[in-house]
Chain A
Amino acid sequence: MIVDHPLLGPRDSAEFVILGDAALLDRPDWQDPQAPERFYEYLYLRQNPAGLHRELWYHEQGDRSWLVVTRDTTTHDIVSVELARDVARRNKAKP
């Protein structure tokens, strides 16, 4: 797989470490009354879709940036690649 890095251009997937579902960017609020349940879901449950999956990739053998890669788990096609910090900022900007 070739990852089209937003800053560095096309890179070999072997340069990356994969953490998993990009939902991990949205950490639950620890002060929420439902926090134990929210953290259980956050830590252990995964949607694990067959199809498009947004996931966190870390460019360990490169510029050490975190990326959000949108990839089809049935074909391995990479549809889009964004910097994770851009995605996180966008998520934060949402009400």
Chain B
Amino acid sequence: MRYSAFTIFSQGLTGNRGWKELWRKPEPKPSYDVIVIGAGHGMAAGYYLAAKHGISNVAVLEKSWLGSGNTGRNTTIIRSNYMMPENQPFYEHSLKLWEGLEQELNFNAMVSQRGIVNLFHSDSQRDDFVRRGNVMLMSGADAELLDEAQLRRMCPYLDFDNARFPIRGGLLQRRGGTVRHDAVSWGYARAASKLGVDLIQNCEVTGFRIDKGRCVGVETTLGPIAAGRVVSCVAGSSSRVMKNAGITLPIESHVLQAFVSEGLKPCLPGVMTFGAGHFYISQSDKGGLVFGGGLDHYNSYAQRGNLPALEDVCEGAMAIMPMLGRARLLRMWGGVMDMSMDGSPIIDETPIAGLYFNGGWCYGGFKATPASGYCTAHLLATGEPHELAAGFRLDRFRRGQLIDEKGVGAQPNLH
């Protein structure tokens, strides 16, 4: 069924009885050309394999239900305001894919380009943001420097004259914004399923079948499945999964928390980030303020964090938006991040033939979903890395070619 205004109208007239399930629920076949583990970025990879490369004998295995992992645990922000030459073109391509995503998938993912503003608080930080803005412009992205007067007109409620962190202006990317995160995985699953890709939920991969140094399939809770190529797209649990293939990764798993306030009337025009600490915020279409900050700083697989991180985030909130002190917190949750040793992702083959790896997304996974799937599909279909992901190699740490956006070295909890 193709979605359109006419479909909504005709379904409205017929009691909405004609809507169908979004994707098929097949039993796993004994063998596939490609098995994708994880239905976050993996669902996008499955879709692009079928749509761009004509490989549709693909299974996407999800250990729980679709959207139960990090796809459902992020703060839904899209942007392309990176600086390193390996990162920025990739994220800009991702933003372009977001812009055409709903038409391509025929699914309303509520892509809303409401803009993202990175606040700066000092002259030197302004200089830094000017440089970043120029890098963005040179990659084909958009960037605008807002001075204090422009920002005052846009967001009069910011604490411009804060004694410790006065707000001097901001770097605005108008094409940045938010997307309805669940709808992304639903949209990809529906489009991929139509093209013949099997989404198999509640199927956890427990091991790899490796024959003479070549990966020939996976062991799952639903039994063994053979495959020509296997890719792991399970950021957060990458170390756990790849350990089954005997691979130790340059990754630590950390918990990142996010928070939602009670529903409020529209007050934030877009996404806003604090320049002197870890705090970022946007407002969902339901009215809740969605915000987050930094990691809890200790290794964790627990999908929940502790209160010191919440206190730090709230201090950041109060430093730029004192009005938030009167909002009440509704929900909070934690997601497990693959924190790589340089803060940048990995999309590459592994030392085991036929086994590929996608992970190390740190906090940047959600915005990267389309480009990550796109480049992973390209790698699987052609055996060569896509030019946009050519820097995201697994062996870059051995070669010393790190992509360290923040310049903090091999210290994952600081990226």
Binding site for B on A (CB under 8 A): 1, 12-14, 17-21, 40-41, 43-50, 53, 55, 71, 73-76
Instruction: Count B interface residues, CB 8 Å.
Output: 24
User: What's the minimum C-beta distance from A9 to chain B, rounded to whole angstroms?
Assistant: 19
B308 pairs with A73, CB closer than 8 A: no
A45 pairs with B411, CB closer than 8 A: no
B306 pairs with A48, CB closer than 8 A: no
Given A20-B412, A44-B410, A76-B306, A50 and B301 contact (CB-CB distance below 8 Å): yes
A45 pairs with B250, CB closer than 8 A: yes
Q: Which of A47, A55, A71, A76 has the most CB of B within 10 A?
A: A76
In whole angstroms, what is the CA distance A13 to B297 when docked? 11
Q: Tell me, yes or no, whether B300 is within 8 Å of chain A by CB.
A: yes
Q: Tell me, yes or no, whether B398 is within 8 Å of chain A by CB.
A: yes
Residues of B within 8 A of A41 (CB): 248
Q: Tell me, yes or no, whether B298 is within 8 Å of chain A by CB.
A: yes
Q: Which residue of B lies closest to A15 (CB)?
A: B308
B250 pairs with A73, CB closer than 8 A: no
Across the A-B interface, give the 6 residue pairs with the lowest CB-CB distance, nearest first: A48-B239, A14-B308, A44-B397, A44-B250, A50-B301, A45-B248
Residues of B within 8 A of A18 (CB): 297-298, 413
Beyond A46-B252, A50-B240, list 7 extra A-B contacts (CB 8 Å).
A18-B413, A20-B299, A40-B398, A46-B248, A50-B237, A73-B299, A76-B302
User: What's the minimum C-beta distance from A1 to chain B, rounded to whole angstroms?
Assistant: 6
In whole angstroms, what is the CA distance A24 to B299 when docked? 15
Given A20-B411, A43-B410, A75 and B308 contact (CB-CB distance below 8 Å): no
Given A40-B398, A48-B239, A50-B301, A73 and B253 contact (CB-CB distance below 8 Å): yes
Residues of A within 8 A of B146 (CB): none
User: What's the minimum C-beta distance from B48 to chain A, rounded to whole angstroms?
Assistant: 29
Residues of A within 8 A of B297 (CB): 17-18
Which residues between 167 and 197 of chain B lie within 8 Å of chain A, taking CB atoms? none
Residue interface mask B238-256, A partner, CB < 8 A = 1: 0110000000111111000
Residues of B within 8 A of A20 (CB): 252, 299, 411-413
B341 pairs with A55, CB closer than 8 A: no
In whole angstroms, what is the CA distance A53 to B252 when docked? 11
Q: Which of A40, A44, A48, A55 has the most CB of B within 10 A?
A: A48
Q: Which of A40, A43, A50 has the most CB of B within 10 A?
A: A50
Which residues between 382 and 415 of chain B lie within 8 Å of chain A, taking CB atoms? 397-398, 410-413
B398 pairs with A1, CB closer than 8 A: no
Q: Which residue of B lies closest to A37 (CB)?
A: B398
Residues of B within 8 A of A73 (CB): 253, 298-302
User: What's the minimum C-beta distance from A5 to chain B, rounded to whole angstroms?
Assistant: 16
In whole angstroms, what is the CA distance A40 to B237 when docked? 22
In whole angstroms, what is the CA distance A40 to B398 when docked? 6
A74 pairs with B301, CB closer than 8 A: yes
Q: Which residue of B lies closest to A19 (CB)?
A: B411
Given A13-B306, A40-B398, A46 and B251 contact (CB-CB distance below 8 Å): yes
